[in-house]
Amino acid sequence: MYGLVNRGLEDLIRSTYGDATWSRICQTRGLDAESFSTMQAYPDGITYDLVGAASAELGVPAAEVLERFGAYWVLYTGRQGYGELFKLAGRSVEEVLGNLDALHGRVGHSFPAFQPPEFTCTRRPDGTLHLIYRSTREGLAPMVVGLIRGLGEHFQTPVAIEHTVVRGDGHPHDEFVLRVSTPQSPP
Ligand code: HEM
């Protein structure tokens, strides 16, 4: 994945647990703590390795690391200059979820080796949202849970997330049912 992702994880760990923790995480995997360039594509294995090492160092499951990282992503990409792109994607959780492929399509102009995920979001008669997440990569559903949580925090609209279809065992993708609350106040 692009270095932007690894750098996002780095930023989360450094800001929450300190520089020494990030250095130890990199050391255990023989990686240089200063090495990731945001615009360069790296093998996915490096990202998975960093998540695994962070999980071991922090004593939390890898899924928890991915979820926290997902929740941090909206804030992080905003600081990295992608805030306007994000604003274009919509003004509510539902709007952004409906425009994620367009958002990643625009991001792809700057990242030639981009392999973006695909999302389909539809509103069901009972008012809940049905989200399908497709990816060339496995194991990132917890990141999606965190991303949705992060969107909810950004728009100050708590989201209840149910992971209704788990990829694997004959299911080629993940599905979620989301219950989005009314905004508490305008973002
Ligand atoms: C302006 C905001 C955003 C930017 C700049 C951005 C950019 C990126 C980049 C560079 C990657 C790495 C892909 C690769 O290296 O091939 C990525 C992956 C991903 N993005 Fe985004 N993204 C944004 C917002 C979002 C949001 C709001 C969501 C979902 C709610 C999302 C879901 C994902 C997921 C799940 C992946 C992991 C890749 C996979 O599933 O295969 N992104 N994004």
Q: Where are the domains of the chain?
A: 3-60, 90-180
Task: Quick: pLDDT tens for 78-92.
Answer: 999 999 999 999 999
Q: For residue 186, what pLDDT band results from cuts at 50, 70 and 90?
A: low
Task: Give the least confident one: 106-110, 129-133, 138-142, 161-165.
Answer: 106-110
At the topology level of CATH, where does 90-180 sit? H-NOX domain (3.90.1520)
Of 107, 121, 159, 161, the one to substitute when testing ligand 1's pocket (max ligand atoms within 8 A of C-beta) is 107
| Longest CA–CA separation in the chain, Å | 51
The proportion of the chain whose per-residue pLDDT surpasses 70, expressed as a percent, equals 97
- Kindly report the protein residue whose alpha carbon is nearest to atom 35 of ligand 1: 144
At 7, which helix (H) or strand (E)?
helix 3-17
Q: Ligand 1 centroid vs 182 CA: distance in angstroms?
A: 25
Mean pLDDT calculated for residue range 9-21: 97
Task: Give me the pLDDT at residue 184, please.
Answer: 61
Asked whether the CA dihedral 55, 143, 69, 48 is positive or negative, the reply is positive
Q: Please count the helices (runs of H) and the strands (runs of E) in the chain.
A: 8, 4
* Residue 85 CA, closest ligand 1 atom number: 1
Strand 129-134 with 159-165, pairing: unpaired
Burial class (CB in 10 A: 0-12, 13-18, 19+), 114: middle
pTM above 0.85, yes or no: yes
CB of 159 shorter than 6 A to ligand 1: no
